């Protein structure tokens, strides 16, 4: 019996050490693309600004969970649009030969790393200091939608004249399609390496929607590689679940005008609870656009439904 206990203890120690190592092992970035602009390092996050001297409009983007800023670069590619994108805390920067610059307004966030609140503090620094035009849009996808709402809650004064787009967003009192248990998050250190071996499989194929477009397929295949470490993914998930649970519809009151885009075939976030939450935003002057037969990745599947920048 003593030998059984001994070997059980050894096995348990090996499992715990392996999990610790897997959670903290840094991944290699999958890909990067050219970007004509500068990068501001803000704590463990970054703000990327495309060069544009006299822009007709400014767009500030926030990507979703395990995504990166390349989600937006193909859509907002007009030469007279000042594109500003936040790269989430402890995520790989997906641009070639980044040119880092310093600024006296940069302040390291005080919220915990990996949280929605952390990245929201970064977004607000971008919104406060970088726009060069009078027409400003803030566009958040998925987790980025919650982050935009959190940023507006933190600094509602910055959003008074801002157009907000919340695309397939994480919203107050909404939920994911599949429940995420504490046990599932505990095992993520072991599951993410398997996901990296086959990013698109029969087990997750339904979540991605159409994959005929090569750029979208490459984007989806890169998802498990965007976070530097798996423990960052775990922190992201815990923060999202807590944020959805603790926030109520009154947070929409921080916005003056905007639109929530709800895809009809979202297989990542629950459509019913997203729609219910979005309808509560309508009381605060935020409109809702429901896009039938569309996946979670609306910008990649149906770019035609997005409001024009008028540039």
Domain ranges of the chain: 11-305
Strands 136-141 and 37-42: what pairing? unpaired
Q: 93 and 86 in contact (C-beta within 8 Å)?
A: no
Q: How far apart are CA 12 and CA 147, in angstroms?
A: 38
pTM of the model: 0.94
pLDDT value at residue 33? 93
**pLDDT of 311:** 47
- pLDDT-based confidence at residue 51 (cuts at 50, 70, 90): confident
Nearest residue to 85 (alpha-carbon basis) of 105, 99, 70:
70
Q: What is the rounded CA–CA span in Å between residue 202 and residue 214? A: 19
Residue 47 and residue 41: Cα distance in Å, rounded? 7
pLDDT digits (tens, 9 = 90+) for 210-234: 999 999 999 999 999 999 999 999 9
Q: 50 phi and psi, to 5 degrees?
A: -80, 135
* 109-135 pLDDT per residue, tens: 999 999 999 999 999 999 999 999 999
Cβ pair 222, 244 in contact under 8 A: no
Q: What is the pLDDT of residue 4?
A: 67
Our CA angle for 35, 148, 118, nearest 5°, is 80
Do 305 and 298 form a contact (C-beta atoms < 8 A)? yes
CATH of 11-305, one of 3.40.718.10, 3.40.50.9100, 3.40.50.1820, 3.40.50.1240: 3.40.50.1820
Rounded distance between C-alpha atoms, residue 207 and residue 296, angstroms: 8
**Hey, what are 302's tokens?**
């149906």
Average confidence score pLDDT of the chain: 94
Q: What is the pLDDT of residues 181-203, one digit of tens each?
A: 999 999 999 999 999 999 999 99
pLDDT at position 6 is: 64
The predicted-structure confidence for 8-44, as pLDDT tens digits, reads as follows 677 778 888 888 999 999 998 888 999 999 999 999 9
Secondary structure of the chain as H, E, C letters: CHHHHHHHHHHHHHHHHHHHHHHHCCCCCCCCECCCEEEEEECCEEEEEECCCCCCEEEEEECCCCCCCHHHHCCCCCCCEEEEEEECCCECCCECCCCEECCCCCCCCCCCCCCHHHHHHHHHHHHHHCCCCCCEEEEEECHHHHHHHHHHHHCHHHHCCEEEEEECCCCCCCCECCCCCHHHHHCHHHHHHHHHHCCCCCCCHHHCCCCCCHHHHHHHHCHHHCECCHHHHHHHHHHHHHHHHHCCHHHHHHCCEEEEEEECCCCCECHHHHHHHHHHHHHHCEEEEEECCCCCCHHHHCHHHCCCCCC
pLDDT at residue 7 tops 70 = no
Q: Which percentage of the chain shows pLDDT scores above 70?
A: 97
Can you tell me the distance from the alpha carbon of 56 to that of 277, in angstroms, rounded to the nearest whole number?
33
Q: Mean of the pLDDT values across residues 282-301? A: 93
pLDDT for 115 equals 98
Other CB atoms within a 10 A radius of the CB of residue 183 amount to 7
155 to 29, 158, 281: CA distances (angstroms): 33, 6, 18
């Amino acid at each position: 019996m003593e030998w059984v206990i001994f070997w059980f203890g050894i096995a348990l120690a090996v499992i715990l050490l392996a999990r610790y190592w897997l959670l903290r092992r840094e991944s290699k970035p999958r890909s990067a693309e050219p970007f004509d602009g500068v990068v501001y390092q803000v704590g463990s996050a970054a703000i990327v600004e495309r060069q544009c001297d006299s822009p007709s409009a400014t767009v500030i983007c926030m990507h979703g969970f395990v995504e990166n800023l390349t989600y937006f670069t193909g859509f907002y590619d007009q030469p007279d649009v000042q594109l500003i994108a936040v790269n989430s805390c402890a995520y790989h920067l997906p641009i070639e030969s980044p040119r880092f610059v310093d600024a006296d307004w940069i302040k390291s966030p005080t919220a915990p790393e990996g949280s929605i609140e952390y990245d929201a503090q970064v977004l607000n620094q971008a919104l406060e200091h970088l726009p060069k035009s009078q027409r400003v849009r803030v566009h958040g996808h998925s987790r980025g939608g919650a982050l935009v709402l959190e940023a507006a809650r933190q600094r509602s004064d910055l959003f008074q004249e801002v157009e907000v787009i919340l695309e397939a967003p994480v919203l107050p009192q909404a939920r994911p399609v599949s429940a995420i248990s504490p046990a599932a998050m505990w095992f993520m250190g072991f599951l993410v390496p398997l996901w990296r071996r086959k990013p698109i499989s029969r087990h997750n194929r339904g979540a991605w929607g159409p994959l005929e477009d090569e750029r979208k397929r490459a984007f989806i295949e890169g998802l498990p590689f965007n976070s530097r470490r798996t423990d960052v993914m775990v922190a992201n998930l815990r923060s999202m679940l807590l944020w959805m649970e603790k926030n109520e519809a009154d947070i929409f009151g921080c916005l003056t005008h905007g639109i929530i885009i709800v895809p009809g075939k979202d297989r990542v976030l629950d459509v019913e609870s997203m729609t219910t939450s979005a309808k509560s935003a309508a009381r605060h002057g935020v409109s809702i656009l429901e896009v039938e037969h569309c996946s979670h990745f609306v910008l990649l599947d149906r770019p035609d439904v997005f409001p024009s920048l008028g540039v």
